[in-house]
Structure 1
Amino acid sequence: MLKGIHHIAIICTDYAVSKAFYTEVLGFEVLAENYREQRDSYKLDLALPDGRQIELFSFPNPPKRPSRPEAAGLRHLAFQVEDIDAAIAHLHAYSVVTESVRVDEYTQQRFTFFQDPDGLPLELYEVKA
């Protein structure tokens, strides 16, 4: 079912500082940078050397957390799947609740979220073979 990690999403408190750190200090390549006006938020897609990605988000005044999805720190861990419907059915067979499937506005890929037993947000991200 799971094929690997597609991306790791991080919400930062200072976009310029974090962008410089990930691109200049760590040397990740910028794949795309989008300003989302309706959310007053940046989304920066970065390539890791193995082809995986980091999504760096900014939000105005993100709350501190260990669990809220729009707060500073690790946002969620995404698992790549080829068939999201089959993966969701598998989770449902184990009584794992999933959110409604959404479509990424930039890539047109389908995704959904669920939680681990401690409430950590996890994502299934469909990438067709």
Structure 2
Amino acid sequence: MVATHLSDNYRELISMIESGLSRMIATSAPLPAPSRGRVSRRVKSFPITPRVSLKPDEKGQRWLLNVSASDRAGLLYSVALVLARHKVSLNLAKVNTLGERVEDTFLIQGEALQHNRDQIQIETELLAALA
């Protein structure tokens, strides 16, 4: 059982969160950039060079995107922004975090992936986002 004074505080808190979320959802402005957060000592001592690999799947209808980099706050958001900018759809994601290292695989598709120039642009932007 929750004490009465705690129950009132929870209701207030829930109400504040609901109204804040409603305002954010109603706003058509783009989302703010995520905070980069602090880099851990381990990442500073043993930095991982970001890598991006983009290859067609076996049927040639979708693309396999593999990324590896040092883990940090907002990393997946940064990847999602690049894909959204190029109107690339995400069909499947396998997110793998090994300590301070991420090795993520995405199954993606989109018109931009049909052109070599756009593929290179996406890879370049992803590398910048992972750095």
TM-score of the superposition, structure 1-length normalised?
0.27
> Between Structure 1 and Structure 2, which shows a larger proportion of helix residues?
2
Point out the structure with max Rg over C-alpha. Answer: 2
Q: Normalising by structure 2, what TM-score? A: 0.27
